[in-house]
């Protein structure tokens, strides 16, 4: 039964239609759609908002260089975005465009409310500005290159110096309030490390007021209090989450009353700052409740570690992937390959490997095997379960599939899409193993084992059915195919399928075509999935990287790396490989370190060198000598090289 008191409001960022979208955008939208599907399946009344952020100088420039006006330019992209979402079966409740009349009108009202309450004042802004990202940056944020110029920390394009009159929002007054809010609501921003980033980078150093208008910007919403200004990006963009629901227009705000506060905003980690600092303060100023959660997901990177982005021009065209490999494969890959809070990799090779191993092999081939056997031994008709031949294997598998309930729910309730799929695949792999170990082809040889054989068939199909019912959260087409082959039509509810015994014996089961194709990876690789030829080099990184980005900066920061000066170096008695050192590690402290480098260095050559030293390694004894910390060495396979400080630094400098 639909429980209408259970409501769930979820949003994606509104994307810039400055160009066609790529799989980075699909990633967030698929995650939000998956979450929305899950909540709907769990009986929630879901409102799922997505859309496009259509104003700004960058879009105006893009339109100009395309020889058209901004509105026609974005209309064209928005059509392509909607088409893409339809191809990916993204079931949003509403698509907001910031050029929609109602949005523009409501934004002006919001601006006016903030102004009337005294939160907006006139000032002037000087700073380094990125036209591409429409953002000002402080000196400490920018990339400074050898050419003396400053570059954007996000898109790496050259920054311009700009000074202009503008209106400011008094963010600075709310810094402490927000720090306290984080403390009282630790669930507000996830994953947890994003909170530390916000505190360290923005809140603790002290918030600055925010420029909220731009003079002379034509492609923007006119400022209601000053006709020379337009409303600049963040009030326009962030407020979409409430204007879409009718705020602040009384009488038109039923959706707002029903769904606000939002349950979760999914946003990429680069815009967490706007959603977890500016947005809560704006809402506080408007005196309306804050969203329950902002979840900052990681980036889809290429194997070469570069972020996929339109400004870098290295994007993968999702349409090509859908055409070639299908919607379910793409949705599965993105949800399975990348832990939602962290960065992860896309390469065609990784994608094809997942399709082959998880989809074609584990899941697809299991269907193929059990339907082939059912055809051969039972004419395709599902036999009865025979409980009297239940052994440990059967019991274990049954238990495993029945605990999916709790496991999948707890994973998805904490936005761990990957974990939910891992749980489901454990059951799929276990079922493959069960079939293998039960060896139906042997049971079939012995008439006395017919009941046992029937049981293996029943159990395998029952598990397959339950697993497929869960996969409705992630897949679009495949569950329908399976349910139809089971003679159950398109619509199977998880609730009805997840109980043991939900599959009735006596049904005729159709084998059908393979559920997923498998690919010859070598042949497939090299077929372009990138949207333009010049970028082909990005799609097939030479090999799967040995260097997975699997630690956070905080992990690295646990290492206390220092420069250290070698004061004493000597051989360790009766140990051919060991040298003992006494190091000056700064501030008058000395340390003894033992290192296995006697084969590569003479002790006398090492004295006086400034080397790199790991200071906080737990001490360990070598030949009775206690060694504290470790010297850093490079290894080329033949010899070792001490890592030294390229400039003649003193001992005790930090290395980071
Ligand atoms: N318009 C702003 C957002 C305003 S929200 C009130 C914007 N748009 S964007 O087009 O740049 O989209 C950014 C979002 O797209 C990211 O936050 C992320 O959700 C998604 N992604 C874009 N590229 C991505 C990757 N390479 N990897 C993962 N997500 C990516 O910022």
Q: Cα(273) to centroid of ligand 1, in Å?
A: 13
Q: Cα(600) to centroid of ligand 1, in Å?
A: 50
- Summarised one tens digit per residue, pLDDT across range 344-373 is 999 999 999 999 999 999 999 999 999 999
Query: What distance in Å separates the CA atoms of residue 561 and residue 653, rounded to the nearest whole number?
Result: 8
- Summarised one tens digit per residue, pLDDT across range 551-593 is 777 788 889 999 999 988 998 888 888 999 999 998 888 899 9
Residue nearest atom 13 in ligand 1 by C-alpha distance: 15
Q: Cα(15) to centroid of ligand 1, in Å?
A: 6
Residue nearest atom 15 in ligand 1 by C-alpha distance: 25
Query: What distance in Å separates the CA atoms of residue 118 and residue 542, rounded to the nearest whole number?
Result: 57
State yes or no: pLDDT of 535 exceeds 60: no
Query: What distance in Å separates the CA atoms of residue 236 and residue 99, rounded to the nearest whole number?
Result: 10
Residue nearest atom 5 in ligand 1 by C-alpha distance: 13
Q: Cα(96) to centroid of ligand 1, in Å?
A: 16
Residue nearest atom 30 in ligand 1 by C-alpha distance: 24
Residue nearest atom 18 in ligand 1 by C-alpha distance: 268
- Summarised one tens digit per residue, pLDDT across range 392-451 is 999 999 999 999 999 999 999 999 999 999 999 999 999 999 999 999 999 999 999 999
| Average pLDDT of the residues of the chain | 91
Residue nearest atom 9 in ligand 1 by C-alpha distance: 15
What is the rounded average pLDDT of the residues 102-116?
A: 98
Best residue among 10, 11, 12, 13 to mutate for probing ligand 1, ranked by most atoms within 8 Å of CB = 13
Helix (H) and strand (E) counts in the chain: 25, 26
Find the length of the chain.
656
Q: Give the number of the atom of ligand 1 that is nearest the alpha carbon of residue 15.
A: 10
Q: Cα(544) to centroid of ligand 1, in Å?
A: 26
**What pLDDT was estimated at residue 536?**
31
CA distances to 33, 94, 177, 304, 426 from 90, in Å: 6, 11, 37, 29, 27
Query: What distance in Å separates the CA atoms of residue 550 and residue 37, rounded to the nearest whole number?
Result: 29
DSSP 379: T
pLDDT band at 138 (very low <50, low <70, confident <90, very high): confident
- Summarised one tens digit per residue, pLDDT across range 42-79 is 999 999 999 999 999 889 989 999 999 999 999 999 99
- Give residues with Cβ within 8 angstroms of 373, minimum separation 6: 440, 441, 457
User: Maximum distance among all alpha carbons in the chain?
Assistant: 90
Q: Cα(12) to centroid of ligand 1, in Å?
A: 9
Residue 594's DSSP bridge partners are 580
CA angle at residue 269 from 49 to 208, to 5 degrees? Answer: 100
Q: Which residues line ligand 1 (CB under 6 A)?
A: 13-16, 24-25, 27-28, 53, 237-238, 240, 267-268, 270-271, 299-300, 307-309
Best residue among 268, 305, 530, 538 to mutate for probing ligand 1, ranked by most atoms within 8 Å of CB = 268
Nearest to 288 by CA among 449, 63, 536, 110: 110
Q: Give the number of the atom of ligand 1 that is nearest the alpha carbon of residue 12.
A: 19
pTM: 0.79
Query: What distance in Å separates the CA atoms of residue 399 and residue 434, rounded to the nearest whole number?
Result: 13
**SS3 of 520-556:** CHHHHCCCCCECCHHHHHHCCCCCCCCCCCCCCHHHH
Residue that the structure tokens 């400039």 belong to = 647
Q: Cα(268) to centroid of ligand 1, in Å?
A: 6
CA angle at residue 291 from 288 to 294, to 5 degrees? Answer: 150
Q: Give the number of the atom of ligand 1 that is nearest the alpha carbon of residue 307.
A: 26
Query: What distance in Å separates the CA atoms of residue 640 and residue 519, rounded to the nearest whole number?
Result: 42
CA distances to 25, 80, 578, 579 from 600, in Å: 51, 62, 10, 10
CA angle at residue 179 from 175 to 181, to 5 degrees? Answer: 115
Q: 248 preceded by cis ω (within 30°)?
A: yes
Residue nearest atom 17 in ligand 1 by C-alpha distance: 268
């Amino acid at each position: 039964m639909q429980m209408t008191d259970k409501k769930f409001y979820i949003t994606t960022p509104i994307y810039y239609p400055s160009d066609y979208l790529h799989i980075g955008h699909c990633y967030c939208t698929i995650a939000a759609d998956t979450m929305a599907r899950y909540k709907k399946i769990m009986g929630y009344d879901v409102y799922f908002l997505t859309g496009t952020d259509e104003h700004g100088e960058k879009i105006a420039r893009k339109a100009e260089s395309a020889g058209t006006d901004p509105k026609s330019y974005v209309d064209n992209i928005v059509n392509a975005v909607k088409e893409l979402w339809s191809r990916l079966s993204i079931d949003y409740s509403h698509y907001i465009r910031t050029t929609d009349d109602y949005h523009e009108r409501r934004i002006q009202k919001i601006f006016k409310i903030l102004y009337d309450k005294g939160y907006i004042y006139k000032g002037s802004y000087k700073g380094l500005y990125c036209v591409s990202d429409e953002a000002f940056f402080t000196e400490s944020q920018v990339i400074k290159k050898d050419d003396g110029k400053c570059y954007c920390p996000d898109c790496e394009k050259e920054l311009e110096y700009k000074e202009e009159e503008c209106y400011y929002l008094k963010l600075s007054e709310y810094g402490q309030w927000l720090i306290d809010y984080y403390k009282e609501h630790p669930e507000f921003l996830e994953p947890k490390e994003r909170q530390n980033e916000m505190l360290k980078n923005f809140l603790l150093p002290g918030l600055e007021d925010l420029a909220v208008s731009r003079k002379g910007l034509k492609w923007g919403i006119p400022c209601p209090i000053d006709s020379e200004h337009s409303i600049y990006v963040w009030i326009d963009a962030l407020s979409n989450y409430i204007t879409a629901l009718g705020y602040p227009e009384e009488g038109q705000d039923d959706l707002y009353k029903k769904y606000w506060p939002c349950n979760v905003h999914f946003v990429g980690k680069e815009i967490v700052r706007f959603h977890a600092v500016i947005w809560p303060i704006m809402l506080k100023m408007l005196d309306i409740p804050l969203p329950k959660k902002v979840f900052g997901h990681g980036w889809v990177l290429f194997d070469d570690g570069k972020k996929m982005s339109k400004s870098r021009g290295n994007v993968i065209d999702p349409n090509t992937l859908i055409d070639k490999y299908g919607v379910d494969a793409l949705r599965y890959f993105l949800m399975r390959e990348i832990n939602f809070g962290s960065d992860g990799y896309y390469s065609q090779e990784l994608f094809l490997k997942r399709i082959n191993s998880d989809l074609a092999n584990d899941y697809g081939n299991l269907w193929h095997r059990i339907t082939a056997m059912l055809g051969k031994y039972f004419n395709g008709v599902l036999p009865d379960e025979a409980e009297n031949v239940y052994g440990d294997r059967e019991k274990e598998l049954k238990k495993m599939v029945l605990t999916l309930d709790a496991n999948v729910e707890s994973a998805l309730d904490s936005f761990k899409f990957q974990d939910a799929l891992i749980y489901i695949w454990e059951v799929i792999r276990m079922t493959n193993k069960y079939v293998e170990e039960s060896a139906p082809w042997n049971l079939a040889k012995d008439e006395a084992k017919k009941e046992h054989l029937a049981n293996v068939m029943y159990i395998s199909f029952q598990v397959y059915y339950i697993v497929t019912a869960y996969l409705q959260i992630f897949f679009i087409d495949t569950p329908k195919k399976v349910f139809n082959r089971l003679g159950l039509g398109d619509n199977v509810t998880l609730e009805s399928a997840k109980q043991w015994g939900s599959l009735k014996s006596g049904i005729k089961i159709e084998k059908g075509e393979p559920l997923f194709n498998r690919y010859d990876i070598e042949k497939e690789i090299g077929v372009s999935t990138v949207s333009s030829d010049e970028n082909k080099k990005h799609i097939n990184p030479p090999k799967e990287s040995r260097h997975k980005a699997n630690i956070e900066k905080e992990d690295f920061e646990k290492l206390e790396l220092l420069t250290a000066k070698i004061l004493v170096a000597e051989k360790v008695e009766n140990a051919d490989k060991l040298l003992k050192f006494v190091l000056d590690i700064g501030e008058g402290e000395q340390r003894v370190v033992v290192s296995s480098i006697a084969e590569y260095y003479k002790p006398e050559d090492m004295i006086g060198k400034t080397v790199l030293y790991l200071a906080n390694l737990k001490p360990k004894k070598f030949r009775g000598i206690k060694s504290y910390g470790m010297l850093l060495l490079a290894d080329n396979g033949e010899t070792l090289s001490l890592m030294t400080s390229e400039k003649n630094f003193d001992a005790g400098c930090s290395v980071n």
